[in-house]
A and B are shown apart, each in its own frame.
Chain A
C-alpha cells in the first residue's frame, strides 16, 4: 500500500518532469496516454473490483468530452467544465447499472454496446446541441498563466491519471472496494452479509464512468475539436485491451496497458493501418498466454507476505461486547405458517417454529424435505408465498441483504466465501454489513482485533492474510461461520456445517455452536448428522416433504413414532444379501492405484487404491465430504487431471475423458440422477446405448424395462416430470443399456421415499445376482453393506479400511463413526 503510493508519486514526478522537457507532439501523446490510463483505471474498478464488463466506455468518454466542450465554449473554466463532464458521466453510469443489476457477462456486454451506440447516434442526431456529425469547433484553449497550454494540459492529464491510480489503491484496500470485491466474488454471500448488490454495482459503474468522463473532459482542449467520429466504437475495445493487457485488478496494469495502446502505434506509425489487426492479435496472445495480464503475471515474482495468524487466546469480553445486541421485547425469531411453491410443486407448506435467542434450534428431515428451502426463506433468498417471519419487524419477502441487516446471518451448504479476498477481509467486509462509510478511511484497529478474535473463537488457526479460495475444506466452514458472526447477528442460520467434517471436528463444532448461543444468538441448524443435532439442540423441527412433522426437544422428537418412520423409514427394509458368498474371477475389472485428486489447494482424494472383480458388488463408505462421489466422478472421467493409475479391463483410462471412458464400458449413474429432463423416458434410456460398439438388440429395451415395470407406462413422458424414484430407475436403466463392464452407482437412494428405496435395492440385488459388476456409493450405509460383497471405508479422501461387507457390518466402532447416527435416534 505504502509502496504503491510511493510508486505513484515517483511516476507522477517522472510524468510531470516529462511534461516540461518533451516537445509539443510528444506532449500530446503523453497527455493522451495519461487520459487512456485514467479511463483504464476506471475500467479496472469495474472489471477488477466489481467483476463487470463494459464494451461501451467510449460512450462515457464522449459524454465527458462533449459536456466539457459545451461548457467551456460557454465560458466556463476548463477544470469546472471537465469536472461537470465527469459528474454527468458518473450519473449516467449509475443509471446504466440498473440493467447491469439484472444481467451479467455477455448480456451486460450487450447493454454497454447498446449504450455506446445510443450515445454515438444521440450525438449525431441532437444537432442543435452537439453540432451533429460536424461536431463542435472553436473550443477555447485554457490559459495556465505563464505556462504553455500544452504543458498545462499535459500536467492536468498526468495528475488526473496519478490521482486515479492513487484513488484506486485506496479504494481497493478500503471499505468501498471491499463491498465491490465481495459482490464480485459471490453475489449471494455478499447479500447475506448485508450488501445490496444494486448499490455496489451502481457505485462501480458510477466511479468507472466518472473517471472516463473526467478523462474525456480533457480531450476537447487537447484536440480543439470534438465530433462523434472522435469516439469510435473500437476505442471501447482498446480501453478494455489496455486493462487486460496490463492486468485486471492490478494497480499499475492500466498504466502499462495505456502505454501499449497509445505509444506503440506511435513507434510503429509506418504500419498504422495494421493497428487493429495487431491489437486484436495482441489481445488474443495475452488472453492465451498471460490471462492475468503483464503485471498480473509478474506479480508472482513479488513474493508472498509474511503469514499473519489469529491470536491463541480469545478476548471473550470484547467479543461479548461486540456480539451483544439488546433484544428489546422480542425473545427470538418467530416463523409462522410459511410456504412456497416452485412451478406448481409445493416445496414447503405450513412451517412454523420459534428460535429463541441463546438457544440452538435444529431443522431435520430426509433429503428433499424442504430444510434448505425453509432456510432460504428465512434468509431472504426466496420470498415465501405466505406466512410471516418476525424479528422485531416482519421480514418475509424482504431482500436477502435487508434480512441480513436486520440481524440474520447464514452459512451455506457449499461454502460461499469471497475467494479472492483474504480471510481477514472476509470478516472485515462482513462487519461493514453493507455500509459504505468513508471510502478513504481504514477500519480501526478495533475492527481487526474483533475479526481476529472471531477467527480464533471458531477455531481457525491458519494465516489470515491469504486468499480465502486457498483454504482447505474444514477451514472454509470455520471462516464462513466467523464471517457470519462478524455481522453481529441475532440469528445465525447454519446449513449443514458438519458436512465433510471428521468426528473430532464435529465435536468441536458442537461446542462452538453452544458457545455462539451463549452470546445470546439464536442458532438455527440444518444438519444431517443426528448425533450432532441431538447433542446441541434445545429444540428440533422435523420436516417431511415440505411439511412440519414435529417440533420439540430432542428427547420428545426422538420418541415420536412418525418421526422414526419418516426419517428412518428405510431401516425397516432389509436388503437381500447374496445367497452364496461371491466366488468369481480375481482378474479385476477395475483396478485403481494411488489415485490422488485435488482442486488447487488440498487433495480431496489421496492415494486411494481399490479393485473390483468381475461380478462383484463393492461399496464405498464414508462421511459426507469424505471424497466418495469425487472418487466415482474421477473414475468416470468427470474430474481431470488425476494422479495415479486407473485400469479398466487392462487398459489405462486415467487420462481419457468421460465420453471415451463410457465408450469403454465404465458407466456412472451419477448422484442426482442427471437425466435429460425434456427428453422422453424412452429417449433417455436409449441414449444409454450411444457409446456401445456392438449393435443394440431388438429386445434389449424390453428386457431392461422388465426390471423396472413401473416405467413401462411412462415411456413417452418427459423424464423431468417423473418422481424422484422413477427418475432413479430411468438413470439405472439408462446405465444398463450401455451393457457396462462395470456400473458405478452414486447415491442411488438419495432423496427417495422409503418404498422406492426398497424397490431400488431389490433391483440392485437382482443385478448383482445376474452378474453385473457394481461399485456402489450410498449414504444408507447399512443397506449398501447388506447388498455388497466387500467395502472400502474412506476418511478425508483416504482409504482407512477395506474388508468384506460382513466383517464391516459387525464392526461397532465403524458403526459409531460412520453409520451410527441413524441408530442413535431410535
Chain B
C-alpha cells in the first residue's frame, strides 16, 4: 500500500505541476507566431525568416505598434518534422494565442498546419514553403495566405526560362528525393506538357549522396539539353560538382534551393552556371527601401558584414513584406480576432513593399501575394547572389 502511494504520488505531482505550468499565461502584447526550422540542416532558413519578421516588427513597434499594443515574436522549432510543426502551431495558437502565425521552409510542415489553422480560424501566412496546395487547400474558409513563390508558377517560370534563354528542347530533371522534389516533378511535367515539350527523363537523388554522376550520365545519354534542378543547397552543390567531374557543360535552371546557404563556396567555380529563381535580391548600393532594410539588418545583426551574409534574401524579404501585410490586415480588422483579420487581408489596398508594390494582394480567390511576374532569375557570383 505504501509503495503505490509513493509511486502514484510522484506521478500525480508531476502531472499536476506540468499542467499548472502549461496554463500559466498573460497577454499585454499582440503575439506573432513563427513555426520554422530553427535547428538541423534547414536552420538557416528559420534564421532568415526571423530576421525579416524582426526588422518589420521593430519598424511597426517604433511607429507605435498596432491597436495600441506592441508586437512580440514567439518562435517555435519544427525540426522540419510535420508532427512537431503541428504541435508547435497548436501551442502558439491555443496557448500563446498568437494573432497571426507564420510558416517556414518545409512544405510538409506547412501542409500539416493548414487544416489546423483553418479549423482554429487563425491566419497562417507562408513566407517560404512553395508547395502549391498550401494556399489552394480547398477549405471553405481559407485562412492561409502566402507571400512567397508557388511551385506550380515557379515550374512554369523555369520552363519558360530554359526555352527563352537556352532554347532548350528536351530538358531533363534532377530532383531531390523528398516531397519538395515530388511536387515539382508534377509541376514541371505539367509545365512541359503545356508547352508540348518532351522531357529527357526524371532522376532523383538523396541529400546524402556524395556522387550524382550516375543519374546525370543517364540524363546526358537521354539527350538532355538543359537541366531543371530542385534541391536544397548542399545537394544542389553535389549536382554541380558531379557535372564538373563529368565535364558536362549543360545549362542548369534551378528552383531557389541554392539560395539557402553558401552555394558559392560549396559548388565552387561552377556555382555561377546555375541560374535560379528568387523573389528578391539585396544589392550593393541599392537605394530606397532595400537599402534601408539592409542597413537595419546590419545594425540589428552585427554578424551581417557583407551581402553574402544576407542570403537567402528571399526569406528575409518575403518575411518582411508578409509581416507588414499582416500588420495592415490587423489594422483593417481592428482586432486580433482571426476571422476579422482574414477579412482584413482581403481589405488591404496597396502596400509599398521590399519585393514590389502590392496592389490588392489578396482576394478570396487568390491567397498568393506574389505571382509569376515577380520571379527574378539570379546566380551566385562568389558568395553573393546577383540578378541576371
A-B contact pairs, 22 of them (CB 8 A): A3-B1, A4-B3, A10-B8, A11-B12, A23-B95, A25-B22, A25-B91, A127-B182, A132-B182, A133-B177, A133-B179, A133-B181, A134-B183, A137-B111, A225-B111, A225-B115, A229-B106, A230-B81, A259-B11, A263-B18, A266-B18, A275-B39
Consensus secondary structure, chain A interface: helix
Q: Would you call A26 and B82 a contact (CB within 8 A)?
A: no
Cβ–Cβ < 8 Å partners of B21 in chain A: 267
Contact of B19 among A26, A252, A302 (CB under 8 A): A26
Q: Would you call A269 and B11 a contact (CB within 8 A)?
A: no
Q: Would you call B18 and A32 a contact (CB within 8 A)?
A: no
Q: For the complex, is B86 an interface residue (Cβ under 8 Å from A)?
A: yes
Contact of B3 among A3, A14, A263 (CB under 8 A): A3
Q: For the complex, is B108 an interface residue (Cβ under 8 Å from A)?
A: yes
Chain B: interface size category: 35 or more
Contact of B86 among A24, A223, A231 (CB under 8 A): A223
> Which parts of B234-248 form the interface with A (CB within 8 Å)?
none
Cβ–Cβ < 8 Å partners of B14 in chain A: 256, 259
Q: For the complex, is B27 an interface residue (Cβ under 8 Å from A)?
A: no
The stretch of B72-80, B156-164, B190-198, B263-271 that contacts the partner chain: B72-80
Chain B 1-24 near chain A by CB (<8 Å), digits 1 or 0: 111101110111011001101110
Cβ–Cβ < 8 Å partners of A275 in chain B: 39, 77
Cβ–Cβ < 8 Å partners of A231 in chain B: 83
Q: For the complex, is B116 an interface residue (Cβ under 8 Å from A)?
A: yes
Chain A 675-687 near chain B by CB (<8 Å), digits 1 or 0: 0000000000000
- Nearest to A32 among chain B residues (CB) is B87
Known: A7-B4, A14-B15, A18-B15. A26 touches B177 (CB 8 A): no
Chain A 15-54 near chain B by CB (<8 Å), digits 1 or 0: 1001000111110110010000000000000000000000
Q: In the complex, what's the smallest C-beta–C-beta distance from A295 to chain B, in angstroms?
A: 7
> Which parts of B92-117 form the interface with A (CB within 8 Å)?
93-95, 106-108, 111-112, 115-116
Q: In the complex, what's the smallest C-beta–C-beta distance from B155 to chain A, in angstroms?
A: 16
Known: A28-B90, A227-B112, A230-B82. A23 touches B11 (CB 8 A): no
Q: Would you call A223 and B112 a contact (CB within 8 A)?
A: yes
Q: For the complex, is B43 an interface residue (Cβ under 8 Å from A)?
A: yes
Q: For the complex, is A124 an interface residue (Cβ under 8 Å from B)?
A: yes
Q: Would you call A259 and B94 a contact (CB within 8 A)?
A: no
Determine the distance from Cα of A132 to Cα of B175 in the docked complex, in whole angstroms. Answer: 14
Across the A-B interface, the 10 shortest Cβ-Cβ residue pairs: A25-B94, A7-B4, A133-B179, A3-B4, A273-B39, A272-B77, A225-B112, A7-B8, A230-B83, A134-B179
Contact of A269 among B4, B76, B93 (CB under 8 A): B76
Q: For the complex, is A6 an interface residue (Cβ under 8 Å from B)?
A: yes
Chain A: interface size category: 35 or more
Determine the distance from Cα of A121 to Cα of B215 in the docked complex, in whole angstroms. Answer: 19
Determine the distance from Cα of A269 to Cα of B96 in the docked complex, in whole angstroms. Answer: 11
Q: Would you call B12 and A14 a contact (CB within 8 A)?
A: yes
Residues of A within 8 A of B (CB): 3-4, 6-7, 10-11, 14-15, 18, 22-26, 28-29, 32, 124, 127, 132-135, 137, 219, 223-227, 229-232, 251-252, 255-256, 259, 263, 266-267, 269, 272-273, 275-276, 295, 298, 301-303
Determine the distance from Cα of A148 to Cα of B91 in the docked complex, in whole angstroms. Answer: 18
- Nearest to A6 among chain B residues (CB) is B4
Q: In the complex, what's the smallest C-beta–C-beta distance from A742 to chain B, in angstroms?
A: 54
Q: In the complex, what's the smallest C-beta–C-beta distance from A126 to chain B, in angstroms?
A: 13
Q: Would you call A266 and B22 a contact (CB within 8 A)?
A: yes
Q: For the complex, is B178 an interface residue (Cβ under 8 Å from A)?
A: yes
Q: Would you call B90 and A227 a contact (CB within 8 A)?
A: no
Contact of A259 among B7, B18, B43 (CB under 8 A): B18
- Nearest to A294 among chain B residues (CB) is B10
Cβ–Cβ < 8 Å partners of B182 in chain A: 127, 132-134
Q: Would you call A232 and B81 a contact (CB within 8 A)?
A: yes
Taking A23-B95, A224-B86, A229-B106 as given, write out 11 further A-B residue pairs in contact, using a Cβ cutoff of 8 Å, ordered by the A residue number: A3-B1, A6-B4, A24-B94, A26-B22, A29-B87, A134-B108, A223-B87, A224-B116, A252-B11, A267-B18, A303-B2
Q: Would you call B12 and A26 a contact (CB within 8 A)?
A: no
Cβ–Cβ < 8 Å partners of B77 in chain A: 272-273, 275
Q: In the complex, what's the smallest C-beta–C-beta distance from A560 to chain B, in angstroms?
A: 63
Cβ–Cβ < 8 Å partners of A137 in chain B: 111, 115
Known: A29-B22, A273-B38. A7 touches B7 (CB 8 A): yes
- Nearest to A65 among chain B residues (CB) is B83
Q: Would you call A295 and B19 a contact (CB within 8 A)?
A: no
- Nearest to B15 among chain A residues (CB) is A14
Q: In the complex, what's the smallest C-beta–C-beta distance from B288 to chain A, in angstroms?
A: 35
Q: Would you call B111 and A134 a contact (CB within 8 A)?
A: yes
Cβ–Cβ < 8 Å partners of B94 in chain A: 23-25
Cβ–Cβ < 8 Å partners of A263 in chain B: 18
Cβ–Cβ < 8 Å partners of B90 in chain A: 24-25, 28
Contact of B80 among A18, A132, A229 (CB under 8 A): A229
Contact of A302 among B3, B38, B93 (CB under 8 A): B3
Determine the distance from Cα of A263 to Cα of B8 in the docked complex, in whole angstroms. Answer: 18
- Nearest to B18 among chain A residues (CB) is A263
Chain B 22-36 near chain A by CB (<8 Å), digits 1 or 0: 110000000000000
Q: Would you call A22 and B11 a contact (CB within 8 A)?
A: no
Known: A7-B4, A137-B111. A256 touches B10 (CB 8 A): yes
Determine the distance from Cα of A601 to Cα of B60 in the docked complex, in whole angstroms. Answer: 73
Q: In the complex, what's the smallest C-beta–C-beta distance from B22 to chain A, in angstroms?
A: 5
Known: A227-B179, A273-B39. A25 touches B95 (CB 8 A): yes
Known: A302-B3, A302-B6. A135 touches B76 (CB 8 A): no
Cβ–Cβ < 8 Å partners of B10 in chain A: 252, 256, 295, 298
Which of B15, B76, B77, B88 has most chain A Cβ within 10 Å? B15
Cβ–Cβ < 8 Å partners of B183 in chain A: 134
Q: Would you call A295 and B7 a contact (CB within 8 A)?
A: yes
Cβ–Cβ < 8 Å partners of A18 in chain B: 15, 19
